[in-house]
Structure 1
Amino acid sequence: MAGDEAGLSIELCKVVFYPLTYLLGRRRFEGLEHIPETGPVLVACNHISYLDPLYTSVFVHRRGRIPRFLAKQDLFGLPGIGRVMTAAGQIPVRRGSTEAGDSLRHAEQALADGKAVLIYPEGTITRDPDHWPMVAHTGVARLALHADVPVVPVVHWGTHQVYDHYGRRFRPLPRTDIIVRAGAPVDLSEFRRRPVNGPLLRKATDRVMNGIRTLLAEVRNQPAPTGLFNPRVPERHREHPS
């Protein structure tokens, strides 16, 4: 029964999500070849709008993979939506609780089972006023190194023009280009098979975020800023990884 419910949930998502990605903008998917068709992969994404998971899920599914998201626990409590997410194998993130580490363990198990796990390393929509990536949590590096899996950067651009979270504005018209692009896996070889500690996780995380930032600069056709936005440091908003 569980398998039947999972299959039904995934089919329901396809019926709803695929048309929405066309209706909300002019969809462009690029770099799909960087998502492996089989085997474990950690997909690390920038986050500029609540519409991002809609496009990322369809993007990854187009490669023949069922995406497993690390998603806020609050979403699992929504009527109907929570049941669909649970049945489809999505992974709740319980921030600030004694169960916070469970999400990483579930994600590690999904990777061990050969799944495609999707993560937004920043943990929330970027607060950078120009929509560049922020300093991220180190969970992405912890997963990549513990599970020893490739990390593929994926960026969205244009979703924020349809729905601006901080401006509370939904504007599907006039239609805009919505681009989702995957890049080559981030090279974390220098961090692998070494004792894992805080400084190493921070450096590996910044390496992933710099890969995302560079890929986003290519999509935007703009030079990337020289550091990652840090909303906790008002006098020096960008951190420059060593």
Structure 2
Amino acid sequence: MGEPVARAREKGGPWVALAAAVFYPMTLLLAKRRMEGLDHVPERGPAMLVCNHISYLDPVYTAVFVHRAKRVPRFLAKASLWDVPVLGRTLSGSRQIPVSRGSVEAGASLDAARTSFADDGVVVIYPEGTITRDPEGWPMNARSGAARLALDSDVPVVPVVHWGTLSVYDHYKRRFRPSWRTTITVRAGDPVPLDDVRARAREAGPDRDRSTEVALLRETTERMMSAVRDLLADVRGEPAPEPTRRPRGSGT
């Protein structure tokens, strides 16, 4: 489950190189690092990675994980991050995708993700839309944006999970505890099987009725999040509970 050795690295440009120069040492200093299933990230072509979200450190580890697979990650991230000095310029320079929730521009992020797919990009999305509020760190129910993107785009959808980042940084408890006694694991699994759902969506057509659309999105969401929960359960070595918590708000 280690790093592929025969891959050619996707070119990311100077801003990706800058982020890598910061993120790699950070992931090595905060805790022990374990990255598994790199071979599940496609060597070339478009892909969508759907991830659990337990800590604001997760994107740092996801970015290093994808970069170690010799691909360039393109994150869907909240638009307010583009207002942060230096960080905003880095996000723009590395072609990340801003998400403006609750506005008329919310759908533009999905269009930008589709454009990235057309450019053979690897798009990273956290379907819950925020870090989980589950007290045990299990995923909450997902928003619809990830399912909509997965349903309408014929690309591999790869589940990726993080475990251990919450032990280092817990946002809700305002606790930051780097420690080499902690192991942070990032693992990717087999692509989520969605061919049959996509076929039904094509048969229903772009003007499908609301009830059909809702059913398709619900099934797509459940398949993706079941894959994420099962993979996380394997990493944690314990069974996953059924999802019972929902993120606040709505949108992508």
Q: TM-score, normalization: structure 1?
A: 0.91
Letter in 2 for 1:228: P
Structure-1 separation of matches of 2:239 and 2:147 = 25
Letter in 2 for 1:217: A
- Paired position in structure 1 for 2:230: 214
Which of 25, 28, 36 is residue 30 of structure 1 equivalent to? 36
Instruction: Give the drift of 1:167.
Output: 0.5
Structure-1 separation of matches of 2:167 and 2:16 = 27
Letter in 1 for 2:77: A
Structure-1 separation of matches of 2:235 and 2:99 = 29
Identity percentage of aligned residues: 58
Instruction: Extract structure 1 runs of 4+ deviating beyond 4 A.
Output: none
1:88 aligns with 2:94: yes
Give per-residue Cα distances to partners, 1:207-238, cap 9 Å, x unaligned.
1001000000000000111x1132479xxxxx
- Paired position in structure 1 for 2:243: 228
1:78-117 to 2 correspondence within 5 Å?
78-117=84-123
Give per-residue Cα distances to partners, 1:183-205, cap 9 Å, x unaligned.
00011122113236122111111
Structure 1: where are the runs of 5+ without partners?
Answer: 1-5, 234-242
Judge conservation of contact 1:126–1:133 (CA < 8 Å) in 2: yes
- Paired position in structure 2 for 1:123: 129
- Paired position in structure 1 for 2:7: none
Give per-residue Cα distances to partners, 1:144-192, cap 9 Å, x unaligned.
1211111000000000000001101001135310000000001112211
Q: TM-score, normalization: structure 2?
A: 0.87
Instruction: Give the drift of 1:141.
Output: 1.5
Structure-1 separation of matches of 2:110 and 2:64 = 23
Letter in 2 for 1:159: T
Aligned pair count? 227
- Cα RMSD between the aligned structures? 1.4
